[in-house]
Structure 1
Amino acid sequence: MRKFFKIALIFVLTLGVLGGASLLAFGRDNHGNLSGSIPEQIDQYLSNQEFQGAVLIAKDGELLFKKGYGMAAPNVQNGTDTLYQIASLSKSFTAVAIMQLAEKQMLTVDDPLAKYFPNFPNADTITLGHLLSHSSGIPDYLNPDYQFDYSQVWEPNDIIEVVRNEQLEFTPGESFSYSNTGYVLLGLIIEQVSGQPYSDYIEEHIFIPSGMHHSMFTIPEGSPAAEGHVEGESGPRMDNSAAFAAGDIISTAEDLALFDEALRQNLLVSEETTKQMGTTHASKFPYQYGYGWYTQDVLGHKAVGHSGGYPSGFRHYVVRLQDEDLTVIVLSNEMTVNSKTINRNLTSIVLQEPIWIWQELL
């Protein structure tokens, strides 16, 4: 029997050694199959991945790469000027709007939700900071349990009614759970405090100062807009009102780069506020979240980023490396594209740093 256990132990240790060796050999990609300049390597990588969408990369305040791949819609080629429903990338805009109002002392992140929604359950224990960082415990109305109908037209107040009477998932401030409901509430608070419709506020205080002349909330008829796809087929219809301040902005890769540059130049909020937004305020492994941004370590560099996706067939990812002054924008109108993995590998190529398998996911 002892001999059996000894043999088994040797077998397990051997598997461990072989697994570790395999990880060292194959778990890191230095993109050695790519050649030429960095833009040429980026193009080769995206072509090899059969990527569908638009990519824009800015480094040190200059455009490094921009190109569209595949079709946005019938007879419409994907490009960096193509209109996209950017989904949850909109949350960064909503968070900036809240922080602008905070800088004007029209509200504070420590304000209780009860100040704006006195009849909302547990509103006295939930702060705006909790809503910004997804640490409120308010359930997400897009959770499959609620069978939310994406296809119909929604009013924001009707959206929050979906979960009004549900129990909190945890005590506010004690954990992290992504909640689109929280950002719908933030949009309504922006309206209360500013006296403007959410869309008007974002246009006046973010789009215009950033020079984002091709960003909007309703796509004009005949505009070159991307249609969502799932495995090559048109995705299910989703009405843009179903997300409100949690995800209803329509923009382009080029305009998102302008938003990024406006933030870097402190045109929208102060440097101090930008740092506050990029500081971790809530976490639950493997996630860390600030105000409107995931806070991350990307290939050893301090970064913020955000995903965006719609079941209608959109999947996006944006990352902003703070110390490298690098922004990588990946928009895709094909649900099966892993935009985060694409984004991480593009970052690896630009920095000329190898990437481990797990770094594609974190």
Structure 2
Amino acid sequence: MKKFLKISSVTILVIGIVSVVALLLFGRNNHSNLSGSVSEKIDQYLTNEKFQGTVLIAKEGEVLFTQGYGMAAPGLPNSPSTLYQIASLSKTFTAVAIMQLVEKDLLSLDNPISQYFSDFPNGETITISHLLSHSSGIPDYLTENAEFDYSKEWKPNDIVNTIRDSELKFTSGKSFSYSNTGYVMLGLIIEKVSGQSYANYIEQHIFEPSNMVNSMFTVPPGVPKAQGYVDGKAGPFIHNSAAYAAGDIISTVEDLELFDRALRNHVLISKETSELMSRTHAKKFPHQYGYGWYTQDVMGKQAVGHSGGYPSGFRHYITRLNDEELTVIVLSNEMTINSKRINRHLTSIVLQQPIWIWQEKF
């Protein structure tokens, strides 16, 4: 028995050593297979990955790289001006709109949502801050309702009503749970406070001052846009009302860079407000969330970012490294592409810093 235990211990030790060595040898990618300038390396990487979509990288206020890959739709190649449903990247716009109203003293982050939804259960204990940071405990209507019909036209209040009678997932402010419902409610609050429709408010107070002339909520007939794909086949139809303030914006990588630039130049909100949005207000491993942004450590640097996806075949990711003034935007119209992983490797290439395997995920 002692001999068996000794052999087992040695075996475990050897396996541990081999695992560590393998991690050190193969767990880090320095992109040594790429050559040329940074832009050339980026192009090689995306080509090698068979990426389908559009990428834009901006550094210190200038566009460093932008290019489309593959097809946006039959007969329409992807390009930096291709229109995309940006899905949950819309949440940052909703959060900025709320913060604009806070700056104008039209609402407070501590306001209970009972002021805007008089009969909503537990509305007295749930605040606007909780909605912004996904710490309200309100269930996500997309995961709570497995049979949610994306194809039909939805009114925002009807979306909220799908979970009205559901119990909170936890006491508000005590944890983190991503809730599209909370951002639908924020859109309704914007309408009640501003007196404008959500779409009109975003157009007037965010698109226009950012010079985002190619961003919208409905694509006019005949205007080409990206089609979503799942494993190379056209994805299912989703009505553009199915996400409302949680994900209905249509934009391009070029316009998203203009939005990013407007935030960095404090055109839309003050520096102090932007910093408040970028602080962690809720967390549950492995997630940390501010207001409209995931708060992150990206390759040792303080950053914020957000994912976006539609089951119709879209997967997006944006990362903003604040101190580096670096923004990496990845929009993909192929559901099987891991846009966050692509985003992390592009960041690694631009920083000329090797990336560990776990840094692809966080």
**Would the TM-score normalized by the shorter structure come out above 0.5?**
yes
Q: For 1:137 and 1:144, locate their aligned partners in 2 and report how far apart those are by CA, in whole Å.
A: 12
Aligned to 2:285: 285
- 1:182 aligned to 2:188? no
CA deviation after TM superposition for structure 1 residue 75, in Å: 0.5
Please report the TM-score for the alignment, with normalisation by the length of structure 1.
Answer: 0.99
CA deviation after TM superposition for structure 1 residue 118, in Å: 1.3
Which ranges of structure 1 fall in alignment gaps of 5 or more residues? none
- 1:20 aligned to 2:28? no
Q: For 2:124 and 2:167, locate their aligned partners in 1 and report how far apart those are by CA, in whole Å.
A: 15
Aligned to 1:137: 137
Aligned to 1:276: 276
Aligned to 1:73: 73
Q: For 1:305 and 1:233, locate their aligned partners in 2 and report how far apart those are by CA, in whole Å.
A: 29
Count of residue pairs brought into register by the alignment: 362
Aligned to 1:303: 303
- 1:125 aligned to 2:98? no
- 1:340 aligned to 2:330? no
1:201-350 equivalent positions in 2, closer than 5 A: 201-350=201-350
Q: For 1:111 and 1:304, locate their aligned partners in 2 and report how far apart those are by CA, in whole Å.
A: 25
Aligned to 1:171: 171
1:288 and 1:296 in contact (8 A); partners too? yes
Letter in 1 for 2:259: F
Q: For 1:8 and 1:56, locate their aligned partners in 2 and report how far apart those are by CA, in whole Å.
A: 52
Aligned to 2:91: 91
Q: Name segments (4+ residues, structure 1) moved above 4 Å.
A: none
Letter in 1 for 2:60: D
RMSD (Å) for aligned C-alpha atoms: 0.6
Deviation track 1:108-155 (CA, whole Å, cap 9, x = no partner) reads 111001111110000000000000000000000000644211011000
Letter in 2 for 1:256: L
Aligned to 2:8: 8
Q: Secondary structure at the match of 2:142?
A: coil
Aligned to 1:355: 355
Percent identity, aligned pairs only, is: 67
Aligned to 1:112: 112
Q: For 1:317 and 1:224, locate their aligned partners in 2 and report how far apart those are by CA, in whole Å.
A: 22
Letter in 2 for 1:4: F
CA deviation after TM superposition for structure 1 residue 222, in Å: 1.7
Q: Secondary structure at the match of 1:45?
A: helix
Q: For 1:173 and 1:56, locate their aligned partners in 2 and report how far apart those are by CA, in whole Å.
A: 36
- 1:161 aligned to 2:171? no
- 1:199 aligned to 2:199? yes
Q: Secondary structure at the match of 1:218?
A: coil
Q: For 2:303 and 2:221, locate their aligned partners in 1 and report how far apart those are by CA, in whole Å.
A: 37
Letter in 2 for 1:15: I
Q: For 1:62 and 1:244, locate their aligned partners in 2 and report how far apart those are by CA, in whole Å.
A: 32
Please report the TM-score for the alignment, with normalisation by the length of structure 2.
Answer: 0.99
Letter in 1 for 2:330: V
Letter in 1 for 2:35: S
2:144 and 2:163 in contact (8 A); partners too? no
Q: Secondary structure at the match of 1:260?
A: helix
Letter in 2 for 1:229: Y
1:138 and 1:179 in contact (8 A); partners too? yes
Q: For 2:145 and 2:209, locate their aligned partners in 1 and report how far apart those are by CA, in whole Å.
A: 40
Q: For 1:236 and 1:175, locate their aligned partners in 2 and report how far apart those are by CA, in whole Å.
A: 33
1:317 and 1:331 in contact (8 A); partners too? yes
2:60 and 2:324 in contact (8 A); partners too? yes
1:227 and 1:234 in contact (8 A); partners too? yes
CA deviation after TM superposition for structure 1 residue 224, in Å: 2.2
1:228 and 1:234 in contact (8 A); partners too? yes
Q: For 1:110 and 1:322, locate their aligned partners in 2 and report how far apart those are by CA, in whole Å.
A: 27
Q: Secondary structure at the match of 1:296?
A: strand
1:53 and 1:72 in contact (8 A); partners too? yes
CA deviation after TM superposition for structure 1 residue 221, in Å: 1.5
2:214 and 2:252 in contact (8 A); partners too? yes
Q: For 1:257 and 1:220, locate their aligned partners in 2 and report how far apart those are by CA, in whole Å.
A: 23
1:317 and 1:329 in contact (8 A); partners too? yes
Q: For 2:114 and 2:238, locate their aligned partners in 1 and report how far apart those are by CA, in whole Å.
A: 31
1:146 and 1:162 in contact (8 A); partners too? no
